[in-house]
Amino acid sequence: MNRRKICVIGAGVIGLSSAVRIQDKIPGIDITIIADTFSPHTTSDGSAGFWEPHLVNPDQSEEIRKWGQATFDYLLDLVQSPEAGKLGAQLVSGYDFSIEHDDQDPFWKDQVIAYRRLEQKERKLHPKNKGGIFYTSLVIDVKSYLPWLMEKFKSRGGKVQFGTISSVNEISDKFDLIINCVGVRAFQLLNDQDVKPIRGQIIRVSAPWIKHFYVDFDRAEGTERYILPGRDYVILGGTGQEGNWSTDINQQDKDKIWESCVNLVPSLKNAQKISDWVGLRPGRTKVRLEIEENRRSSGCMVIHNYGHSGAGVTLHWGCAGNVAELAHAVLTTLSSRL
């Protein structure tokens, strides 16, 4: 099996974690990552690294729960490890004002720690919100985490190649198995019409006094605002503009984010602004994690792992484990044909 060659397309959190988990499952495998963008310039680098199943399809909740739980458990192990400081991995508690009524609990409520409804005193802090929840989740500094994953990948003999892939067929004669982790680029690469960019714009600020997260998504109006503290800065967001391909900083969006977050937490008014960032979340009707069936008769198999919308970090390790299982099964089948 180790004589087989695997290629992972994409070097964001989905691609890197898939590559590392394949190495875990198949030690010594010949595996190459090909990408045209690497950390610190990937979409993943702009992520707040906060665990919450954001912008996912509730119809896929069973799979989301499975992938999310595996990722939560893995991140919790990192939080408790000596690597935590290096990776900015930590527990973080806070408020989600998106849930307006007491009978509407998110499907992931049992996966976070100490989930509860807001008490009356807490509601008075933000009287415009009808209700909400409080819980403890996890956060990891993705700008530190991606290089850490890459170092682990290379230390096990993994190879890295810079390049732009316009079609899977370009490299199908060089590998036995391709893992497609291209995110929003699946729209062009595969002509997947279910893929749509969900444009996210954020502001990074220095506000070390912010210890809790604050989330407020209005799903009816399609608006979102969030304040997410990390190791080195606090992220203020955001936008969720489906179908918008622009990666330019929009001043109107920036002003709206700032005003909205300061209204929610007034102590942010004098926070020092560090930087702005825009990225395109890979929106899709459902996460696509599967073997491409119509390639079974060809010389090269393809496993797709993309379309995680706003939950790439939340689902990455669980999805990567699923990919590793599929990769092992595919290579076992190929080896049995010899």
Binding residues for D-dopa: 226, 281, 310
List binding-site positions for FAD: 43-44
List binding-site positions: 43-44, 226, 281, 310
3 state SS for the chain: CCCCEEEEECCCHHHHHHHHHHHHHCCCCEEEEEECCCCCCCCHHHCCCECCCCCCCHHHHHHHHHHHHHHHHHHHHHHCCCCHHHHCCEEEEEEECCCCCCCCCCCCCCCCEEEEECCHHHHHHCCCCCCCEEEEEEECCHHHHHHHHHHHHHHCCCEEEECCCCCHHHCCCCCCEEEECCHHHHHHHCCCCCEEEEEEEEEEEECCCCCCEEEEEECCCCEEEEEEECCCCEEEECCCEECCCCCCCCHHHHHHHHHHHHHHCHHHHHCEEEEEEEEEEEEECCCEEEECHHHCCCCCEEEEEECCCCCHHHHHHHHHHHHHHHHHHHHHHHHHCC
